[in-house]
């Protein structure tokens, strides 16, 4: 009888587990863009070397179909448990589609091979934002794109690294700058830190959508560094003038099923809005 119950549970989990990629689009407006102009961003997070379709074709084709102006990677593209094949296939497949920017996640540091990973990414033309920002122009609109290192930099690379100090040193000078400002930051639970600066949009991952989503309440079960019933698991959150979008990630692991929580490719369209 116990075996029967176990079989029923396994079959039920298999039925409701999610492995096919869902595409989530968010439409934002800003008076900092010209009217009737826009920028399209594709956000990829928490792949963990997962391969979607033969030779990563499912994921690559979805990125191609989006026709992005920028491709943004918010960490944990690589982890310490699986082969680099999945991430290499992705990076090769999206190379040349649009400029690709990346910030570290905790798992890239956990590999204890962060320098090799940086070189690997750069070999595919990926631009690494390491506690810095750059100014870009997309369709005649200026954007400031910033990236902060994952706090695991302190644990695995630079013992005296302090994320709070780096934010203050490198991004406080952006206060008062009238350009649309985006921060790539792997960990969503640190939003109280990000809110102290003048970013218009923060993009994160890490929470994996809470892994399990309860259908009726839409509550998430668990997220790293937040524990059970996390406040920030996936989706769009607003904090006064700041918009925070959290990818549910693209990782699919047999030993950690996603239930009512499909892997997610995020598309963000920023359009010119009303005058000041």
CA angle at residue 193 from 263 to 266, to 5 degrees? 20
Dist CA 29 CA 134 (whole Å): 21
Is the Cβ–Cβ distance between 195 and 185 less than 8 Å?
Answer: no
Asked whether residue 89 carries a pLDDT value surpassing 80, the answer given is: yes
Dist CA 146 CA 237 (whole Å): 19
pLDDT cut 90: percent of the chain above it: 88
Q: Which is more confident, 86 or 5?
A: 86
Tokens standing for 91?
């990076």
pLDDT of 218 reads 83
Asked whether residue 13 carries a pLDDT value surpassing 70, the answer given is: no
Worst-scoring range by mean pLDDT, 16-25, 35-44, 227-236, 243-252? 16-25
- The overall average pLDDT reported for the chain is 93
Q: What is the pLDDT of residues 161-213, one digit of tens each?
A: 999 999 999 999 999 999 999 999 999 999 999 999 999 999 999 999 999 99
Alpha carbon of 110 to those of 44, 58, 164, 248: distances in Å? Answer: 19, 28, 21, 20
State the pTM of this model. Answer: 0.93
Q: What is the pLDDT of residues 238-249, one digit of tens each?
A: 999 999 999 999
Q: Which is more confident, 19 or 183?
A: 183
Q: What is the pLDDT of residues 94-146, one digit of tens each?
A: 999 999 999 999 999 999 999 999 999 999 999 999 999 999 999 999 999 99
Asked whether residue 4 carries a pLDDT value surpassing 60, the answer given is: no
Assess if CATH 3.60.21.10 describes domain 22-272: yes
Closest CA to 66 of 6, 23, 127: 23
Can you say whether residue 125 is alpha, beta or left, with left for phi > 0 and alpha for psi between -120 and 50 degrees?
A: left
Residue ranges per structural domain of the chain: 22-272
Dist CA 185 CA 197 (whole Å): 13
Three-state DSSP class for residue 74: coil
Q: What phi and psi, each to the nearest 5 degrees, are found at residue 216? A: -65, -45
Dist CA 141 CA 109 (whole Å): 34
């Amino acid at each position: 009888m116990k075996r029967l119950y176990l079989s029923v549970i396994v079959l039920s989990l298999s039925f409701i587990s999610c492995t096919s990629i869902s595409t989530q689009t968010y439409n934002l407006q800003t008076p900092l863009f010209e009217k009737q102009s826009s920028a399209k961003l594709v956000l990829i997070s928490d792949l963990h070397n997962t391969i979607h379709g033969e030779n990563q074709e499912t994921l690559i084709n979805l990125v191609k179909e989006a026709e992005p102006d920028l491709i943004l990677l918010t960490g944990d593209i690589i982890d310490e448990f699986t082969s680099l094949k999945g991430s290499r296939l992705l990076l090769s497949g999206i190379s040349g589609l649009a400029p690709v920017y990346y910030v570290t996640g905790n798992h890239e540091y956990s590999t204890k091979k962060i320098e090799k990973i940086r070189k690997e990414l750069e070999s595919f033309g990926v631009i690494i934002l390491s506690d810095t920002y750059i100014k870009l122009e997309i369709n005649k609109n200026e954007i400031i794109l910033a990236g902060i290192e994952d706090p695991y930099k302190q644990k695995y690379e630079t013992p005296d690294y302090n994320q709070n100090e780096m934010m203050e040193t490198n991004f406080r000078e952006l206060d008062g700058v009238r350009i649309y400002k985006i921060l790539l930051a792997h960990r969503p639970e640190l939003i109280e830190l990000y809110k102290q600066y003048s970013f218009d949009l923060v993009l994160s991952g890490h929470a994996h959508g809470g892994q399990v989503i309860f259908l009726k309440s839409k509550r998430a079960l668990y997220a790293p560094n937040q524990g059970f019933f996390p406040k920030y698991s996936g989706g769009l959150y607003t904090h006064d003038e700041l918009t925070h979008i959290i990818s549910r990630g693209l990782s699919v692991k047999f030993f950690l099923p996603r239930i009512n929580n499909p892997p997610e490719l995020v598309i963000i369209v920023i359009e010119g809005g009303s005058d000041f």
